[in-house]
Amino acid sequence: MKKWLMAVLFGTMLVLAACGGGGATNEDKSEPADEGTEEPAEDGGAVDTAAAEDAYKASCASCHGQDLSGGAGPSLEKVGADRTAADIEEIIANGQGSMPGGLLSGDDATAVAEWLAEHK
């Protein structure tokens, strides 16, 4: 019984060790950090593209697709052609259709809205 329990625990630890640690940063890589990821926003400010993409991938990509092409939610590939950053931020805050509101808030919601508004 003890051998079986030890084997199960060891196997579980092995699987968890193999699956974990996927969040490598530029500090962990030999590549230089991305520079110049900020782009001008509609209002003359700057959009931190990397931060916006990270927030999008964490909260939006499961429904709208990693490449904005859609899935359970609609495509966002050309959302900026129809909506302003303020419109998009309002949808993020309040939801629309089957999308719940509040999936992103604060600076993350603003950055993602401005980033998506650039997709025309």
Binding residues for heme c: 60, 63-64, 99
Residue with tokens 């964490």, as numbered in its chain: 58
Q: Which helix (H) or strand (E) holds 64?
A: helix 61-64
CA distances from 96 to 13, 49, 93, 110 (A): 42, 24, 9, 17
| Residues 113, 88: Cα–Cα separation, whole Å | 5
| Residues 77, 66: Cα–Cα separation, whole Å | 11
Residue list for the binding site:
60, 63-64, 99
